[in-house]
Amino acid sequence: MRERFKAKPSDVVCKYLFGPAILEDSKRSFTNMIRLNLAHVLMLRKQEIIDKEDAKKLLDLLLALQDKGPGAFEMNPLFEDYYFNIEQYIISQIGLETGGKIHTARSRNDLHSTISRMNVRDAIIDLYPRMLELRSILLNLALAHKETVLTGYTHMQPAQPITLAHYFTAIAEAVERDYQRLEGAYNRLNYCTLGGGAFAGTSFNIDRCYTAQLLGFYGPIENSIDAVVSRDYLLEISSDFATFGSTINRFVNDLYIWATDEFGFVEVDDSMAACSSIMPQKKNPITLEHVKSKTSHLLSAYVSIFTCMKGIPYGHCRDLAGESIHLFWDASAQMEAILELLNATLKTIKIKQDKMKSRANCNYSTVTELADELVREEGLSFRVAHQIVGNIVGDCITAGLSTEDITVKMLDAAGKSYATRTFNWTQDHLDRILDAAHSVNNKLSLGSPAPEECQRMIQNLNDQLEKDKETYENMVKKLKQSNNRLTKEVNQAI
């Protein structure tokens, strides 16, 4: 293959470029490389570009190699890449005349770009069920906590009461969008580039649609330049990873804060925690810390891929084909770890409902409901009601009191000051208005924390989850069908 050159690859090139790439491909690409070669040989045979006997020899050898596995022969970096090592093995077994025909009507460029798409496809399909499980866990938590009242925060300050179901459905909605972004990316990824050649196609009468079908793709990317040099799917998927990471980072940061002694809203299971080497009382929620941190690696991968593709031509080059994908594999591994750790943590997390409710009833988060009630019952403008309630809260804080200490006497005094009137309320009525559960149940608007609204949202989210599960199962089913077809046609050919 290096007839053009007067020298073999240098030791430096072998050590830092060819060797590591071959090792990586031997771990990741073996199965897809065999499948691609089988499909290509079948196509060459079908189009009568090679004869049936040569095709049979090549198919027999590829099946034997598949049975032996990726360790069937020793890799040599002097052959430049993984494919050339496989080709040299084929030639060594059945000779140059027959073995050399396997590379007819293609280039390493379209071969590697197709393998890359197949490998990335495998990676994200492996992540889908973990994301679906996360959505299911969130909805199960929401269903179990429709009546669990806690404080909602804005600017990290007590704002208004919500339910834990309301919070979990918010996260579930966001993760649903993250999932559907990745599902949409699959629909743009799953097109075949085999047949694009080096970039200008081929003069052989190949059937690109046939090989695409055998390999489970929707069809070919038509333009031969775009087929070989497009890697925008890496940008899209890594961006989707990073966006999902942002959602998870914010969610887990809330759990992390809620797990502090000062909040005490949640507690991770002992199996999800680590101890201190010196402080015997410590229970460190390490899964939350690792998940938070791992989301940063997702952004790093996107930046790396984007930077590799910046300022290069829309043509084949090693920046694109050799370097751009490196951190994608780390990102997919980090995604797997994030999902597994988070799912395990959420399945076993302890929710301290009494602590949540107690805090919501004393930290003034319910006083917006008092202002709203003054508008409804007393006909005040909201701005006047806001002044009355704000004055009461200010006086209570100065006196070291909580929401539960607010009296009708305080309400009437503030009413005289800002509305020139008092209100004929009983203390029981005022206490009911200031109760966190009442505040939550009183919400009427679409998407509010009222249990009935949360139930409706949970049902809608669950319906979409079932649809997405079905779509995922169909993806897997179609890939299995294409693989079965490939196997069947190979068997018929031999």
Read off the pLDDT band of 74 (50, 70, 90): confident
The percentage of residues in the chain with a pLDDT greater than 70, rounded to a whole number, is: 99
| 362-434: CATH, from 1.10.40, 3.40.1010, 3.40.1350, 2.40.128 | 1.10.40
Q: Which of these ranges, 1-5, 67-71, 110-114, 463-467, has the smallest mean pLDDT? A: 1-5
Per residue in 223-255, pLDDT tens?
Answer: 999 999 999 999 999 999 999 999 999 999 999
Contacts 24+ apart (CB under 8 A), 383-386: 384/418, 384/419
Helix (H, G, I), strand (E, B) or coil at 338: helix
CATH code of the domain occupying 11-104: 1.10.275.10
pLDDT of residue 8: 83
Tokens of 437: 């559960």
CA angle 349, 353, 359 (to 5 degrees): 125
Tokens of 62: 């590829």
pLDDT of residue 26: 84
Distance from chain centroid for Cα 202? 38
Residue with tokens 């319906």: 463
pLDDT of residue 25: 86
pLDDT of residue 83: 86
Per residue in 119-163, pLDDT tens?
Answer: 999 999 999 999 999 999 999 999 999 999 999 999 999 999 999
Read off the pLDDT band of 13 (50, 70, 90): confident
Per residue in 447-481, pLDDT tens?
Answer: 999 999 999 999 999 999 999 999 999 999 999 99
How far is it, in rounded angstroms, from Cα 72 to Cα 28? 15
- Give the domain ranges of the chain: 11-104, 109-144+159-354, 362-434
pLDDT of residue 356: 97
Cα–Cα distances in angstroms (integers) from residue 269 to residues 120, 292, 337, 346, 410, in the given order: 34, 18, 18, 9, 44
pLDDT of residue 1: 63
How far is it, in rounded angstroms, from Cα 188 to Cα 185? 5
Q: Which of these ranges, 80-94, 356-370, 381-395, has the smallest mean pLDDT? A: 80-94
Which one, of 195, 227, 229, lies nearest residue 315 by Cα? 229
Cα–Cα distances in angstroms (integers) from residue 81 to residues 66, 118, 209, 403, in the given order: 19, 18, 27, 71
**DSSP characters over 397-417:** HHHT--GGG--HHHHHHHHHH
Helix (H, G, I), strand (E, B) or coil at 192: strand
pLDDT greater than 80 at residue 5: no
How far is it, in rounded angstroms, from Cα 139 to Cα 171? 9
pLDDT of residue 6: 66
Cα–Cα distances in angstroms (integers) from residue 101 to residues 29, 57, 90, 183, 493, in the given order: 21, 11, 10, 38, 17
Cα–Cα distances in angstroms (integers) from residue 263 to residues 83, 150, 221, 354, 440, in the given order: 57, 11, 54, 12, 21
**pLDDT, averaged across the chain:** 95
pLDDT greater than 90 at residue 274: yes
The amino acid that residue 2 corresponds to is R
Helix (H, G, I), strand (E, B) or coil at 51: coil
Phi-psi region of 156 (alpha: psi -120 to 50; beta: other; left: phi over 0): left
pLDDT greater than 80 at residue 329: yes
Tokens of 312: 């290069």
pLDDT of residue 80: 82
Q: Which of these ranges, 22-31, 183-192, 262-271, 411-420, has the smallest mean pLDDT? A: 22-31
Q: Which of these ranges, 20-29, 262-271, 426-435, has the smallest mean pLDDT? A: 20-29
pLDDT greater than 70 at residue 358: yes
The amino acid that residue 156 corresponds to is M
Fold designation for 109-144+159-354: Fumarase C; Chain A, domain 2 (1.20.200)
The amino acid that residue 429 corresponds to is H
Read off the pLDDT band of 2 (50, 70, 90): low
Number of H helices, E strands in the chain: 21, 4
Q: Which residues contact 295 (CB under 8 A, 6 or more apart)?
A: 245, 246, 248, 249, 338
pLDDT of residue 3: 66
